[in-house]
A and B are shown apart, each in its own frame.
Chain A
Amino acid sequence: MTFIAKPKLHHPELHKNSLGYTRRDYEGAISTLCAGCGHDSISAAIVRACFELDLPPHRIAKLSGIGCSSKTPTYFLGASHGFNSVHGRMPSVLTGANLANRDLIYLGVSGDGDSASIGLGQFAHSMRRGVNMVYIVENNGVYGLTKGQFSATSDKGAKSKRGVVNSDEAIDLVGMALQLGATFVARSFSGDKAQLVPLIEAALKHEGAAFIDCLSPCVAFNNHEGSTKSFDYIREHNAAVNFLDVIRSREEITVDYAPGSVELVTQHDGSTLRLRKLHTTYDMHDRVSALTYMQERQAAGEIVTGLLYVDPNPRDLHGHLHTSDTPLNALMDDALVPGSSVLAHVNARLR
């Protein structure tokens, strides 16, 4: 653990975004995780994505559960709202917060234990309800805080640091998110920011349930030979289906790639995703073929990464429930207590 604060001094040419903030303004406290933890790289990617999207820090709410991953919100977006909830209950707390104030940008950070074990039900329901959020699972396949037991996402046959072989099937969170109706599903790797940062940006711009499964090696307990979540293993078996650039509306879109290799997707908020396709036959608008493709590649021992599925026009929980456009927490007495004549009208409708 590092005892000194990260010096405030910065590069003299550090850029400012349109809000006048530098990237450093999106940082949090210094990390207390083990040196080299993949989670710290994901924190840095979130910092970069929020900076590059010019997001006002005070309009973001970051929520988490319990675990190494769930400690990380302290280490980014120090000026944003934060909530450390009960183990596995981040999705419920976030859903509640989102219902009360739909105007904030919601970022749920969880881990494989928090989401695939104790919080599996919570995870499932937030996906199927379409809560407008970015749900990042920092997936290291191991219980790091309790010294390296297999987690529910550990692959069958993977070896622990002590040489024990995992005999249980792994839960595939990406597959579940696809089945449960998430409208943005991606997988990435903490060691590849070129891929990860645009995915987080695109997810933040997505107005529905956006899920990112981010492989994040545990340097202390799951970065050895025989592990399927180590830096070396992921780098060797990484099969990216596409690379993504997020283009904001004010930027000019120029396509200079070979025909068929690039696809432009305009999201509901006006942002454009430019995908450089590595597998030209892969269709990321088709849930069923996405699932099939992933299972095929997984059987072949590959780890599929990239933007796997996106619905450019999603509906979210507020759409399903027809809630008011004004956030519930901003409704004043006159709207909440409309008076006896309105009550009489409502009652009359029900007679």
Chain B
Amino acid sequence: MQPTDIQDPDYFHKVVDCQWACPAHTPVPEYIRLISAGRYADAFMVNWKSNVFPGILGRTCDRPCEPACRRGRVEEEPVAICRLKRVAADYKGDVSDRMPPAPTTRNGKKIALVGAGPAALTVARDLAPMGYHLVVYDGDSRAGGMIRSQIPKFRLPEEVIDEEVGFITAMGPEMRLGQRVDSLKGLLDEGYDAVFVGSGAPRGRDLDLPGRQEASENIHIGIDWLSSVSFGHITKIGRRVIVLGGGNTAMDCCRSSRRLGGDDVKVIVRSGFEEMKASPWEKEDAIGEDIPILNFLVPKEFKHRDGKLYGMTFEKVHAEYDAKGRRRLVPTGEPEHFFECDDVLVAVGQENAFPWIERDIGLEFNEWAMPVVNETTFQSTNPRVFFGGDAAFGPKNIIWAVAHGHQAAISIHQFCQGTDVNDRPPPMVTLASQKMGIHEWSYDNGVSLDLRFKVPHRDKVIALKDIKSEVELGFDLKLAFAEAQRCLNCDVQTIFTDKLCIECDACVDICPVDCITFTGNGDEADLRTRLMAPAHDLDQALYVSGELKTGRIMAKDEDVCLHCGLCAERCPTGAWDMERFLIDVAQAENACCSK
């Protein structure tokens, strides 16, 4: 193998698995260290810069970082990254003076943002301090989009939304709330320099089964129902409720029902329990609230009598896989299952809908009636129109909307300044040695052996009485510190300088996870079989040095490295050093700088 090019910003970025997995590339170990140090406001600001909504995401994120966390590969469970984000938000105090002020001068460019959800608000946050005149439209009377309308208050209190949305509205964008955009053509004709569409995926999918029309009084579309609950239009539901669907919306529906009078609530899904789209912890929370999840049942018919729903029938199926691994649900031949109910909530998916976008304004749609959007620049085929969030590529999570927003903001800025939107600004990278003394580091390199701590919950009896009472209480400072100590500091990198190495084997002997080997060079597939410990995880790189004095090379498997720094502590010549790798992924303010 050729020596590893550690100048490539992606190389060490990938080693920080959590940051690499985060769509917005939040510097996770950095903020977790700040939490350990008791610097909650600093930890909040690190988050705020990357993901804009730390308090909201700290309660609701889909956490792509956690399955990626290295801790999950060396013991049972990853660090509770998401809930530590909430700690930063809970204990930050007043950070309003750290927010960029509303600009005093305008740059003369006017941008319309359609929707006041996470994607558009991110664009607004990135562009507002630069002097853009931003106009935000939303059909709802309050900003936040689906964050406000669809996430139940027992998971995300209103004040958290108000505060974090408020940081952005304080930067001076013009908020036209309650004003739905009915025509993109009309908007473009108003002379905006650019338009950002962040209107989400607002249409809940329906189930067209026998009885749907007749019993429609007691059949509700999940996201519309959640939104009505959120805005206080609906305050109760029948005693027996069936929720159809296996995603997070279904989990929110069933748990909301439990709080609005449903005491016999069940979730019924077509697929198997394991394949459900809902996050495992959301399923766990639902089951914890006495909501059974019944699987492999395909809905057949809404049963009604005198216009009143009284139950549903289902066909029992099982999964069969063909040679290509594709799943097919095959009826088992059992008699139909029947469940009594008073209400049904249909949460079987969301769709995009763009009835307000004219088809003759140079904005192409693809075969699935979705706009054609560039995946890097988020520009549509009409160069003045940019998309982001669920509106761009269909339903995803908040963190994806934020990531889209950052990229779209870069593009809008470049477009308005007349530079090429395809010319993306590079990230800024710093690598700094953490050595303080012979065996002292400026990070805490001891490895905690604690297992993952659970977030305390409110007593179930009390929680189920009030739909606005938040279930999760969040870590207290003691638990937060203990959980933060579980982080392995994967951003403090092991840097090897081959010309200093005397091949004494000290690093090989001390490494607790056997990830360092000195051996003859070879191609990667061959090298992976000749290491101290097997290196099967092909997603994780081998760090290979140049040739050493004996003709061998050093090969380090990055997979399970604990970043404990013992290799560097036991190295007599300083061939190993621990250096903090900080990657600052470019945002709109970094674009155009070189022009």
Q: B-contacting residues of A (Cβ < 8 Å)?
A: 1-14, 24, 30-31, 34-38, 40-41, 43-44, 190-191, 193, 217, 219-220, 223, 231-232, 235
Residue B566 CB within 8 A of the other chain: yes
Decide: A11 near B439, CB < 8 A? Known: A41-B504, A41-B506: no
Taking a contact as CB atoms under 8 Å apart, the answer to whether B571 and A7 are in contact is: no
B94 to chain A, nearest CB (A): 37
Question: Top 9 A-B pairs ranked by shortest CB distance?
Answer: A36-B572, A7-B447, A44-B509, A219-B572, A11-B533, A36-B504, A4-B446, A36-B506, A35-B572
Return chain A residues, CB-CB under 8 Å to B95.
Answer: none
Return chain A residues, CB-CB under 8 Å to B73.
Answer: 12
Q: A7-B447, A40-B506 are in contact. List 18 more A-B contacts (CB 8 A).
A: A2-B566, A4-B445, A4-B446, A6-B512, A9-B74, A10-B513, A13-B534, A14-B514, A37-B504, A37-B506, A41-B505, A190-B504, A217-B504, A220-B572, A231-B504, A232-B502, A232-B549, A235-B550
Q: A-contacting residues of B (Cβ < 8 Å)?
A: 73-75, 439, 445-447, 449, 502-506, 508-510, 512-515, 533-534, 549-550, 560, 562, 564, 566, 569-573
How far is B533's CA from A14's CA once the two chains are assembled, in angstroms? 7
Taking a contact as CB atoms under 8 Å apart, the answer to whether B449 and A231 are in contact is: no
With CB as the reference atom, state the residue of chain B lying closest to A38.
Answer: B504
How far is B510's CA from A116's CA once the two chains are assembled, in angstroms? 30
With CB as the reference atom, state the residue of chain A lying closest to B504.
Answer: A36
Taking a contact as CB atoms under 8 Å apart, the answer to whether B571 and A35 are in contact is: yes
26 A-B pairs with C-beta separation under 8 A: A2-B510, A4-B445, A6-B566, A7-B446, A8-B449, A9-B449, A9-B512, A11-B515, A12-B74, A14-B514, A24-B512, A31-B510, A35-B571, A36-B570, A36-B571, A38-B504, A40-B506, A41-B506, A41-B509, A43-B509, A190-B504, A191-B504, A223-B502, A232-B502, A235-B549, A235-B550
B550 to chain A, nearest CB (A): 6
Decide: A2 near B569, CB < 8 A? Known: A9-B447, A38-B504, A191-B503: yes
How far is B534's CA from A250's CA once the two chains are assembled, in angstroms? 25
Taking a contact as CB atoms under 8 Å apart, the answer to whether A231 and B564 are in contact is: no
Return chain A residues, CB-CB under 8 Å to B74.
Answer: 9-10, 12
Return chain A residues, CB-CB under 8 Å to B439.
Answer: 1-3
Return chain B residues, CB-CB under 8 Å to A2.
Answer: 439, 510, 566, 569-570
Taking a contact as CB atoms under 8 Å apart, the answer to whether A191 and B505 are in contact is: yes
How far is B503's CA from A217's CA once the two chains are assembled, in angstroms? 11
* Pick from B445, B513, B549, B550: contact of A11, CB under 8 Å: B513
With CB as the reference atom, state the residue of chain B lying closest to A13.
Answer: B534
Interface of A, secondary structure class, is loop
Return chain A residues, CB-CB under 8 Å to B512.
Answer: 6-10, 24
B357 to chain A, nearest CB (A): 51
Return chain A residues, CB-CB under 8 Å to B564.
Answer: 4, 7
Return chain A residues, CB-CB under 8 Å to B515.
Answer: 11
Return chain A residues, CB-CB under 8 Å to B75.
Answer: 9
How far is B74's CA from A155's CA once the two chains are assembled, in angstroms? 47
Taking a contact as CB atoms under 8 Å apart, the answer to whether B504 and A193 are in contact is: no
How far is B502's CA from A38's CA once the two chains are assembled, in angstroms? 11
Taking a contact as CB atoms under 8 Å apart, the answer to whether B513 and A35 are in contact is: no
Decide: A193 near B513, CB < 8 A? Known: A9-B75, A12-B73: no
Taking a contact as CB atoms under 8 Å apart, the answer to whether B505 and A44 are in contact is: yes
Decide: A11 near B449, CB < 8 A? Known: A2-B570, A40-B570: no
How far is B570's CA from A14's CA once the two chains are assembled, in angstroms? 22
A37 to chain B, nearest CB (A): 7
How far is B500's CA from A35's CA once the two chains are assembled, in angstroms? 14
A199 to chain B, nearest CB (A): 16
Taking a contact as CB atoms under 8 Å apart, the answer to whether B572 and A34 are in contact is: yes
Taking a contact as CB atoms under 8 Å apart, the answer to whether B573 and A36 are in contact is: yes
How far is B511's CA from A10's CA once the two chains are assembled, in angstroms? 9
Decide: A11 near B571, CB < 8 A? Known: A4-B446, A40-B509, A43-B509: no
With CB as the reference atom, state the residue of chain A lying closest to B508.
Answer: A44
Return chain B residues, CB-CB under 8 Å to A223.
Answer: 502
With CB as the reference atom, state the residue of chain A lying closest to B550.
Answer: A235
Q: Considering residues A10, A41, A191, A235, which has the most beta carbons from chain B within 10 angstroms of its beta carbon? A: A10
How far is B508's CA from A40's CA once the two chains are assembled, in angstroms? 11
Return chain A residues, CB-CB under 8 Å to B570.
Answer: 2, 31, 35-36, 40
How far is B549's CA from A24's CA once the two chains are assembled, in angstroms? 30
Return chain B residues, CB-CB under 8 Å to A35.
Answer: 506, 569-572
Taking a contact as CB atoms under 8 Å apart, the answer to whether A6 and B449 are in contact is: no
Decide: A9 near B506, CB < 8 A? Known: A3-B439, A35-B569: no
Taking a contact as CB atoms under 8 Å apart, the answer to whether A6 and B510 are in contact is: yes
Return chain A residues, CB-CB under 8 Å to B513.
Answer: 9-11
Return chain A residues, CB-CB under 8 Å to B566.
Answer: 2, 4, 6
How far is B562's CA from A43's CA once the two chains are assembled, in angstroms? 22
Return chain A residues, CB-CB under 8 Å to B447.
Answer: 4, 7, 9
Decide: A7 near B449, CB < 8 A? Known: A41-B504, A219-B572: yes
How far is B26's CA from A14's CA once the two chains are assembled, in angstroms? 33
Taking a contact as CB atoms under 8 Å apart, the answer to whether A7 and B549 are in contact is: no
How far is B509's CA from A74's CA once the two chains are assembled, in angstroms? 15
B554 to chain A, nearest CB (A): 14
With CB as the reference atom, state the residue of chain A lying closest to B565.
Answer: A4
B173 to chain A, nearest CB (A): 48
Taking a contact as CB atoms under 8 Å apart, the answer to whether A12 and B560 are in contact is: yes
Return chain B residues, CB-CB under 8 Å to A24.
Answer: 512
B544 to chain A, nearest CB (A): 19
* Pick from A11, A220, A232: contact of B514, CB under 8 Å: A11
How far is B513's CA from A5's CA once the two chains are assembled, in angstroms? 14
With CB as the reference atom, state the residue of chain B lying closest to A48.
Answer: B509
How far is B440's CA from A3's CA once the two chains are assembled, in angstroms? 9
How far is B505's CA from A37's CA once the two chains are assembled, in angstroms? 9
B506 to chain A, nearest CB (A): 5
Return chain A residues, CB-CB under 8 Å to B514.
Answer: 10-11, 14
How far is B74's CA from A220's CA once the two chains are assembled, in angstroms? 35
